[in-house]
Amino acid sequence: MKGTVLYGPGDVRFEDRETPKIVEPTDAVIRIAATCVCGSDLWPYRGLQPINEPTPMGHEYCGIVEEMGRAVQSLKPGQFVVGSFATSDNTCPNCRYGYQSSCIHREFMTRAQAPVLRVPLADGTLVPTPDVPPDELVPSLLTTSDVLGTGWFAADAANVKPGSTVVVVGDGAVGLLGVLSAQQMGAERIIVMSRHEKRQQLAREFGATDVVSERGDDGVARVMELTKGVGADSVLECVGTQQSMMQAIHCTRKGGHVSYVGVPHEVELNGAELFFTHVHLHGGPAPVRRYLPQLIELVLNGKIDPGKVFDLTLPLEQVAEGYRAMDERRAIKALLQPSGR
C-alpha cells in the first residue's frame, strides 16, 4: 500500500509502504474510512519539531475492522470503530482513573494517513459503533478520535459549568471544538480569541457569544473589559505557545481554571508570577478514550455536528496539499479519503 511519510520541513510524500499486519495478539487491523491532518502535524512540517528520519504520519482515524489478533475479545470483523491517538489497555491504574492517554502500556499512534492501519491494544483503544454509520456521519465520528476529544477534555479540565464564562485561546480545530464542548456543558458566555473571519463564523455556529481579535496583553485587556475586570471562570489554551499560555492564565479570574491541550513548544512558567494568579492549571494529552462512547453517541444522535471543522476534503493521495493548505491557513482542517470512498 501507499502511506504518508514526512521527510523534513515541507516535504510530505505519499509512497509505498508495507501493508500493516497483526504483530501482537492484542492488535487489530482496520481499513481506514477517513483520516485527516492534525494541527500538531504542522509542528514537524514547519521544522519546529525535529525529526531524525522519514516519519510515517497520521494519528486520527476511524474505519472497518478487517482482522484481529487471537487475544482480541470485544471486536469482530466488519465493525466500524473509532480509536484514540494514544493506545490504552483501559485496565491499568492510570486508565481506571480516566487518563488513558497515560496508560502504562501507551503507544502514540502514527501511520494513520494511509488506507490500512494496525492498532495495538485494540480491545482498550477501539470503540465500535452499533452499526456501520452512513457516509455523512463519518467526518464527525472522525473528530472524536482526537480533535473533538481534545476540545472536550479542554472544557472538562477547565471545569466548565452551566452558566459559566469561558475563554477559548486558539481558533484551530481544537479551539473551535472546545467552543462546541463548552456550549454542550452549559457555558453561558463563550469568548473565542480569533483573527480569522471564517473561523470566527464557525465558532459562533458552535456557540461562541463574543469574539476577541486582539492577542497578548491587548487580548487580556479586552477580556477583562468584557468581564468587568474579573476574568473568565474557565480558559481553554488550545495553541501551545508561550504567548497563548500566558494569555490564558491572565484572562482567568482568581480561583478560575485553565486547561492546556496545545502541544507546548518552548513554554515556561515563572513560579512567582503563577503563584499570585491563584489559578488552577490542568492539561496534557487528552484522554480521548474516556470520552469516546459519549461523543460517539452525541454524533450518532445528531446532537452535535463537529465535522463542520473539515473545510477541505481531498483524496488521501493528495495529502501533501492538505498539509500545505493548513500550513498556509487556507483550510481549518483537511479531511483525507482513501480511494474507493
Question: What pLDDT is attached to residue 95?
Answer: 98
Distances (CA, A) of 193 to 174, 219, 236, 305, 327: 13, 8, 10, 21, 19
Mean pLDDT to the nearest integer, 218-243: 97
Comparing 341 with 287, the larger pLDDT belongs to 287
- Model pLDDT for residues 124-178, shown as the tens digit of each residue: 999 999 999 999 999 999 999 999 999 999 999 999 999 999 999 999 999 999 9
pLDDT band, very low/low/confident/very high, at 262 (cuts 50, 70, 90) = confident
Look at strands 28-36 and 61-68 and give their pairing: antiparallel
- Model pLDDT for residues 90-104, shown as the tens digit of each residue: 999 999 999 999 999
What predicted TM-score, i.e. pTM, was given to this entire model? Answer: 0.97
DSSP string, 124-168: HHEEE-SSPPPGGGHHHHHHHTTHHHHHHHHHHHTT--TT-EEEE
Q: How far apart are CA 26 and CA 170, in angstroms?
A: 37
The answer, yes or no, to whether residue 341 has pLDDT greater than 60, is no
Task: Check if the beta carbon of residue 212 is closer than 8 Å to that of residue 226.
Answer: yes
Cell of 229: 475586570
Residue (of 313, 332, 3) closest to 200 by Cα position: 332
Q: How far apart are CA 258 and CA 115, in angstroms?
A: 38
Q: How far apart are CA 336 and CA 236, in angstroms?
A: 27
Mean pLDDT to the nearest integer, 116-122: 98
Task: Return mean pLDDT, the chain.
Answer: 97
User: Phi, psi at residue 36, to the nearest 5°?
Assistant: -165, 175
Q: How far apart are CA 207 and CA 191, in angstroms?
A: 9
In DSSP terms, 175 is beta-bridged to none
Cell of 153: 477534555
Look at strands 2-8 and 55-56 and give their pairing: antiparallel
Q: How far apart are CA 329 and CA 143, in angstroms?
A: 19
Instruction: Find the DSSP H helices in 59-110.
Output: 93-96
Q: Which amino acid is at 238?
A: C
Mean pLDDT to the nearest integer, 30-51: 95
Mean pLDDT to the nearest integer, 168-194: 98
User: Phi, psi at residue 248, to the nearest 5°?
Assistant: -65, -50
Give the three-class secondary structure for 73: coil
Q: Which amino acid is at 331?
A: A
DSSP string, 215-230: -HHHHHHHHHHHTTTS
Q: How far apart are CA 99 and CA 304, in angstroms?
A: 24
Q: How far apart are CA 207 and CA 188, in angstroms?
A: 9
Question: What pLDDT is attached to residue 340?
Answer: 64
Instruction: Find the DSSP H helices in the chain.
Output: 42-45, 93-96, 122-125, 138-144, 147-157, 173-184, 197-206, 216-226, 242-250, 271-275, 288-300, 319-327
Cell of 1: 500500500
The answer, yes or no, to whether residue 217 has pLDDT greater than 80, is yes
Question: What pLDDT is attached to residue 178?
Answer: 98
- Model pLDDT for residues 71-92, shown as the tens digit of each residue: 999 999 999 999 999 999 999 9
